[in-house]
Amino acid sequence: MAVDPGLFGPNSVTWNLHGDPAMWLGGIGSLFLQALHPRAVAGIVQNSIFRSDPLGRLERTASFVSLSTYGTHEQVHAAAAHVRRVHSALKGRDQDTGERFPVDDPELLLWVHCAEVASFASVTVRAGFPATRAHLDRYFLEQRRSAELVGLSARDVPGSVGEMADYFTAMKPQLRCTPDADIVYEFLHLPPMPRWLRLPVRHGYQPLGHLSYSLLPDWAIRLYDRPAYSEERATSRARTFRDVALLIPKRLRWSVPSSHALAAVRRLGRAATPSPALLPR
């Protein structure tokens, strides 16, 4: 019986890029970016329990990305069906007009998808992951499959670097830093924690939050209008973070927040271990 490689398989860009430790920075950065869309961030703030469960949303998002990358077809489609059910029951209220809107509005789902995968791609490359322009074109094309999981049509999703750039150019007039975005900014810099965790979080997580913010595109940092590391300093720190993280044994590194990558390697064999060496040529 053939072993199920999942949606992407070891020879995809997705499989290998998503196994890189710089994805942690990209994941945090994607939340900063998503929050610049007024309706998207209203849906997050009004429906999420992130203020009482500070790391829960980050962990759930990271776990779903990992499962959709490394899980079997059955696991992926079951998880995606659950996500669609949850989203279909949620509403948000536009802070400007008072209008109620569905969280699974296709335009909002597309924004969240594009902010997420564009952040993954940009940040991992800046941190030193050796993906070329051709690799990133292929990555965005592959990620249309992820977009389909949440209910989008692949033909409506940017499938190349150029198409993604055009999408953000078209979206910029709709984006701004709202009070809800400020809430997300503050949360991602220093999540509320029990008193006994505040000191280690302040000295451990907080620099990563600000680094992730500083790795946003220049136009996004201008919309937040908050200080950021210089481009050179942000890139240097991202590379240092990646270099240090790569020293952590894979078994430990890929166990947080979930072990889907490890399960995939057990299923497919050690030759399927995510690595830049497996990037398609």
Tens place of pLDDT per residue across the chain (281 aa): 678 999 999 999 999 999 999 999 999 999 999 999 999 999 988 886 655 665 666 778 889 999 999 999 999 999 999 999 988 988 999 988 999 999 999 999 999 999 999 999 999 999 999 999 999 999 999 999 999 999 999 999 999 999 999 999 999 999 999 999 999 998 888 766 555 445 554 555 568 889 999 999 999 999 999 999 999 999 999 999 999 999 999 998 998 778 999 999 999 999 999 999 999 98
Q: How many CB atoms lie within 10 A of CB 84?
A: 14
For residue 13, which of 158, 160, 156, 148 has the smallest C-alpha distance? Answer: 160
Residue 92 φ/ψ, nearest 5 degrees: -130, 165
277 in a domain, yes or no? no
5 in a domain, yes or no? no
232 in a domain, yes or no? yes
Element (H, E) at 281: none
27 in a domain, yes or no? yes
113 in a domain, yes or no? yes
Asked if 43 and 103 touch (Cβ cutoff 8 Å), the reply is: yes
278 in a domain, yes or no? no
- Give the domain range for residue 146: 13-263
CB < 8 Å & 24+ apart, contacts of 132-140: 133/161, 135/13, 135/17, 135/279, 135/280, 136/13, 136/161, 137/161, 138/12, 138/13, 138/280, 139/13, 139/14, 139/17, 140/164
102 in a domain, yes or no? yes
Using alpha carbons only, what angle is made at residue 187 by residues 181 and 190, rounded to the nearest 5 degrees?
Answer: 145
Count of domains observed in the chain? 1
89 in a domain, yes or no? yes
State how far the Cα of 231 lies from the Cα of 163, in Å rounded to an integer.
24
